[in-house]
Amino acid sequence: MATTSAPAWAVGPESTFLVLAPQGQSTAKAVSRVAAAGGTVVARYDQIGVLVARTTNPAFQSAVAGAGVDAVASTGGLATALDDDETVAVVDSATVQATGDPTGEPLWGQQWDMTQIDVPQAHKVTTGSPDVVVGVLDSGISSTHPDLVTQIAKDKSASCIGGVVDTTEAAWNPTTSDHGTHVAGTIAAAINGVGVAGVAPGVKVASVKVVNDDGFIYPEAAVCGFIWAAEHGMRVTNNSYFIDPWEFNCRNDARQRPVWTAVQRALRYSQSKGVLNVASAGNSNVDLQHKFVDSGSPNDGSFPVEDRTITGACVDLPAEAPGVLTVSAVGPTKQKSYYSSYGQGVVDVTAPGGDTRFRTGGSPSTITDGVLSTTFNTVTKTNGWGYKQGTSMAGPHAAGVAALALSAHPNLTPGALASFMERTAVSLPCPSGVYNPVPKLVGYEATCSGGNRNGFYGAGEINAYNVVR
C-alpha cells in the first residue's frame, strides 16, 4: 500500500510571516495550511483573522497559499527604525514635599509645554482617574523610575516583540531605548515632589513594548500591541512611530498590502473595544495630503534607499489610518515645529513637541525648547530626566489630554472622544506664505492650507483645561 508523507522542504534562514484568513472567517484552515507548509504559528489573533508564523521553508509563501488563506507576506525587511530623538540629561532633581500641585514639582519651571496647554488649570478639576489606562506602544517603560513607579499598570503591561506576548516585567522594560519612558512621563509622571509632572498624573500607563533591541518596529509587533490594548481595557494608546521601512505603506504594492490589511483589522478591532489610538504625524516635514515621492526609504538597511513614486494608495501607518487621532508638533511659540509633517485632512490636532531650532534660525539648537520628561540610561541602567523633541513628544500630550477627558467624561466612545478633543482645541491660524523657521537649514520650507481647521494644526492645539471644565 502506498503511503504519503509531508513534503520535505528545503531549509533556509528562519523568517516571519503574516498569514491572513478571509475577513470574518475562522483561522483554523489557515493554521492547518501553515503547518502543512512547514511553518509554526507563534501568535494567533482569531479576533481579526491574523496569524504570525515562523518557518525555515524558503518556499513558504507560495506553499501556504490556498483555501482559508486570504493573503500572506514576509515581514522580513518590513521593520522601521524608531526615531529616537536627542536626549540631554538634566541634573537629578532635588526631592521636595509633595503638594498635590504640579507647579510644586522641582523641574516644573522647565515644563513650558504643560503651561502652554493649561495643565495647572485642568489639575484643579482633576488629575485623572486610575480607572483610565493609556497603552504606551513603544520601547518599554522603566518600572523603577521614581516618577513612574506608582503610575504603571503592571498587570496590563507586556512585550509584543515578534508578535508574541511576554508579560514578564523584564520583557516590557527598556533595553536599548528610553523613548517609551520619556513618552510615559509626559502622559502620567506622578505629582510626588520629584522631577516632573505629567499631563494626567492620576491615570495609569501600561508598557506595551513593540520596539525590538535593534530599534525596529515590525508589523506583527504593532498588531499584537493593538490587540493586547483592546483586550486589556485600555481606553487610549499612544503610537509614536510608523510601520514599514518605507514611510508610506502602499496598498497597491503586493508585498505591502497584507501589512495594511492586518494593521487595519487590528485598529478597527481596538476601536470596537473602546480604544482611541493616538498617532504622531512624523518628523519628515512632509505634506501628507500631497505626497508624490518618498526619497528616504527604506530606512532599515534591507534595500538601498530609493526615490519611489507614491500615490493616494500610499499612507503613513498608523497616522493615516481611519479613526486614528493624528498629531502634529508645535514649539514654545505655538508655531509648527520645523520638522513636523503636516497635511490638510490628515492632521487632526497639534500639541507641544518641542522646537530647538527656531530661536537661532536653524543652528545651533536650544535644548530647553525641547520637551522635558523622564529618561532611562540604557547603558548605566539609571533613571533621570531629559529633553527630547519630535512629534513623538506631541502625541503623548494628546494622549494625556484624552485620558483627562475620559476621566471627566467616562462614557465617551473613541469617535466621540476624538471629536471632543478637536472641538475643545484652540484654533491656530496658518502662517502666511512659505513657512520656514530654520532658514539656516535646507529643506524645511512648508506651506499651510485651510482656515480654522488647517494642514499645520488640524482643529488646533489640544487643551487640558477645556476637556475637563
With cut-offs at 50, 70 and 90, classify the pLDDT of residue 255: confident
pLDDT number for residue 72: 95
The set of residues, in sequence order, having a beta carbon less than 8 Å from that of 387 and lying 6+ positions away, is 86, 87, 88, 90, 354, 356, 367, 368, 370, 371, 372
Active-site residue, selected from the candidate residues 157, 392, 397, 407: 392
Among candidates 402, 405, 394, which has minimal Cα distance to 125?
A: 405
Question: Is the pLDDT at 5 greater than 60, yes or no?
Answer: no
Domains of the chain as residue ranges with CATH:
15-74 (3.30.70), 81-447 (3.40.50.200)
With cut-offs at 50, 70 and 90, classify the pLDDT of residue 300: low
User: Is 302 marked active-site?
Assistant: no
pLDDT number for residue 2: 45
pLDDT number for residue 218: 86
Average pLDDT, the chain: 91
Answer yes or no: are the C-beta atoms of 162 and 210 closer than 8 Å: no
Query: CA-CA distance, 60 to 123, in Å (whole number)?
Result: 55
Give residue for cell 530599534.
Answer: 215
Lowest-pLDDT choice from 66-80, 205-219, 389-403, 423-437: 66-80
Lowest-pLDDT choice from 59-73, 237-251, 405-419: 237-251
Lowest-pLDDT choice from 42-51, 304-313, 379-388, 406-415: 304-313
pLDDT in tens, 190-230: 999 999 999 999 999 999 999 998 888 888 999 999 999 99
With cut-offs at 50, 70 and 90, classify the pLDDT of residue 370: very high
pLDDT number for residue 3: 44
DSSP structure class, residue 163:
G
Answer yes or no: are the C-beta atoms of 399 and 406 closer than 8 Å: no
pLDDT number for residue 4: 44
pLDDT in tens, 150-201: 999 999 999 999 999 999 999 999 999 999 999 999 999 999 999 999 999 9
More confident residue, 253 or 268: 268
Q: Helix or strand or coil: residue 329?
A: strand
Taking residues 231-259, what's their average pLDDT? 82
Active-site residue, selected from the candidate residues 123, 179, 182, 397: 179
User: Is 392 marked active-site?
Assistant: yes
pLDDT in tens, 318-331: 888 889 999 999 99
Taking residues 370-385, what's their average pLDDT? 95
pLDDT number for residue 316: 75
- 345 burial (CB, 10 Å; 0-12 / 13-18 / 19+) is middle
Question: Is the pLDDT at 271 greater than 60, yes or no?
Answer: yes
Lowest-pLDDT choice from 8-22, 68-82, 253-267: 68-82
Question: Is the pLDDT at 80 greater than 70, yes or no?
Answer: no
Helix axes 391-408, 179-188, angle to 10 degrees: 30
Q: What is the largest CA-CA distance in the chain?
A: 85
More confident residue, 74 or 242: 74
Sheet holding 325-330, edge to edge: 158-159, 204-209, 133-138, 236-239, 276-280, 325-330, 349-352
User: Is 131 marked active-site?
Assistant: no
The set of residues, in sequence order, having a beta carbon less than 8 Å from that of 237 and lying 6+ positions away, is 134, 135, 136, 137, 208, 225, 226, 229, 270, 275, 276, 277, 278, 399
Active-site residue, selected from the candidate residues 83, 85, 118, 138: 138
Question: Is the pLDDT at 1 greater than 60, yes or no?
Answer: no
pLDDT number for residue 320: 81
What is the bridge-based pairing of β-strands 325-330 and 276-280?
A: parallel
